[in-house]
Chains A and B, each alone.
Chain A
C-alpha cells in the first residue's frame, strides 16, 4: 500500500436527520487507502446509505471532516463528481433511454469524448454480457439485467473511486461471480479504489481486503477479515453428515470431543486449530468416508464475524 494521501480521510463524521433526533452517522472516523477493496458492512438502518451519500458528495455532513484526496468534500463536493462514481439504491432517471444511450450519455457527461463514450459503452456492454439488451430501454429491463446495466453506468468514465451499494442484488449466481471477478480485475489492472456495501458477506469475502462494520451510526469493527476473525471464536468447524442407515455411528462422533448433534445424521464437531488433524484422522479411521455423505471443515467466515459483531446481542446492548 502506498504512503500517499489516503483516498478518504474521515474524522468524527456526524450526520443527523429530523433536527438531530436521528443520528444516522455518529462520529465515524476511518481512512480508505488508494487501490483497496473496502467492504462496508452493517445491519439495515446502521447508517451505511447515509455514509455512502456523504462519501459520494450527495449529502452534507453536520459536523466532522470528510476529505477526498485531501480536499474537504464536506464543504465543496465538486471533486467527488470528478473522481467518484457510485452505484446507489436510488433509481436512475434514465429509464426511457436505451442501455447504449444511457452509457453514451453518462460517459460523455463524465468527460469522455463522444467517440470514447460510445466505444467504452460497447466494451462494458460486452464485458457485462448485455449484448442482447443494448437497444432496450433501461426501464424495461428485468431486475438482474437492470442491475448489470446500472453497474455499467457506474463503471463508464473510469472514475478512480467506485462506491458500490449492493452491486450483486437481484443477480443470479453466475452473474454474481462475474461481478466479484470484475471488481478484483478492476483493482489489480487499473488500481481503482472500491468501496463495497453489501449484505452478501459470504461471497464478498473473496474480494474484500479490509472491512468496516458499522451499527447505530458507529464503527463496531474495523480491520482485515483475518484480524476480525481472530476477535471471535477461532475454533475450526467439522461438519459431518452420516450416510443413510449409518446413524449408529453417532456415538463414535460424540466421543470425538465437543460434538453437537443437529439431527441423527448431521453433526458438528468443534476443535482448536491444533487439535483438528487428530479429530479428522479419527473420523477417517473409526467411521470412514464411505459411511459419510458429507464431510466439511471450515474456519469462521466473514459472515460469522459479521453475525457475531453486528448481530442480535449487540442490538440488545443498545
Chain B
C-alpha cells in the first residue's frame, strides 16, 4: 500500500493541482471496482459483439451434430440413457465457448501484448479476468438452453427440470471458463493454448462420464474423470432433470464453485503483466 501521509506532495507548477492522487476510502474503492468491472465487461463484450452469431453457430454445430448422430443410434434407448445423451451434449457445448474461445482470446491477448493497455491503467487483474469470464458465461448460457430443448425434442423426452437447474446453468460455464482462462494465461502462446484445449475436449468427450455412467468407465478413467469439472457439471445437470436430487448434487455444486474460485485465483496470480 502507498503511504497515506506524505511529507511532500508534488504539485503541478502551472495548475497547482496535486500530482499524486490520494488513497481512496473503502466505499470509494468498492464503487470503483464495480465501475471498472462494467467498463472491462464492455471492452470484452465488444470483442464478441460483432461476431456473436458466428460464436453461437460454432459452439452449437458440434453438439447439435452429436445430438443428431446419437438420435439415429439410440431411438429405442431407455430414458436414463437418453438423459445422458441430452446432458452430455450440453457439457460438450461448455467445452467450446468457455474453454476454446476464452483460452484462445487470453493467450492471444498475452501474445499480442494487449495486457500492456490494461497494465497501464489503475485497475485490478481480478476485475479484468472476471470481465472476460463473465462475457464467456453470458455467451454460453443461450447455447446450453437451446441444446437442452433440442435434445428433449429429438428424443421425445420432455422433462420439467428442477428450478435448481438455474444454478447449474450459471455455475458450470463459470467453472469451465475458469479452466479456459487458466489455459489461456498459462500457455506460452495461442498455438499451445489451442492444443491444450483440444486435449481437454477429447478427455471430456470420450474419457469422462458425460455420455456414459461413471461406473462403466475403466478404473483409471474413473479417477481422471473425478479431476475434471465437466464430470460434475454433467452430473448436476442430470440430477436436476431426473427429478431426484441427492447429496451428490450438493457436492457437484460445491466442486464447481470451488473450481471457479481456485481458477480465478490461479489466473490472477499467474497473469504477471509486468514481467517479460
Contacts and interface: CB of A to CB of B under 8 A. Distances in A.
B46 A78 contact: no
A169 to B, nearest CB: 17
B274 interface: yes
B274 A57 contact: yes
A82 B112 contact: no
Contacts of B146: none
Interface in A46-102: 56-60, 69-71, 76-86, 88, 90-94, 96-97, 101
A260 interface: no
A111 interface: yes
Interface string B100-124: 0000000001001110111111110
B10 A190 contact: no
Overall SS of chain A's interface: loop
Given A79-B20, A109-B36, A84 B120 contact: yes
A5 B119 contact: no
B8 interface: yes
A106 B35 CA distance: 12
A132 interface: no
A192 B14 CA distance: 8
B215 interface: no
B120 A86 contact: yes
B134 to A, nearest CB: 16
Interface in B14-44: 14-15, 17, 19-21, 32, 35-36, 39-40, 42-43
A90 B14 CA distance: 32
B55 to A, nearest CB: 13
A83 B19 contact: yes
Given A2-B13, A101-B42, A109-B36, A88 B20 contact: no
A164 to B, nearest CB: 13
A136 interface: no
Contact of B117 (A71, A94, A188): A94
B122 A190 contact: no
Given A4-B10, A96-B47, A59 B2 contact: no
A167 interface: no
A49 to B, nearest CB: 11
B20 A93 contact: no
Given A96-B50, A97-B43, A109-B36, A59 B109 contact: no
A235 B274 CA distance: 47
Specify which of A59, A90, A109, A160 lies most central, judged by the most chain B CB atoms within 10 Å of its CB: A109
Contacts of A23: none
B4 interface: no
Contact of B10 (A70, A80, A105, A106): A70
Contact of A58 (B19, B109, B114, B273): B273
Contact of A82 (B43, B117, B122): B122
Contacts of A241: none
A195 to B, nearest CB: 14
A35 B14 contact: yes
B274 A77 contact: yes
B122 A90 contact: no
Given A90-B117, A110-B122, 7 more contacts: A35-B13, A79-B2, A86-B120, A94-B43, A94-B117, A188-B14, A191-B12
Interface of A: 2, 4-5, 7, 34-35, 56-60, 69-71, 76-86, 88, 90-94, 96-97, 101, 105-106, 108-111, 160, 188-192
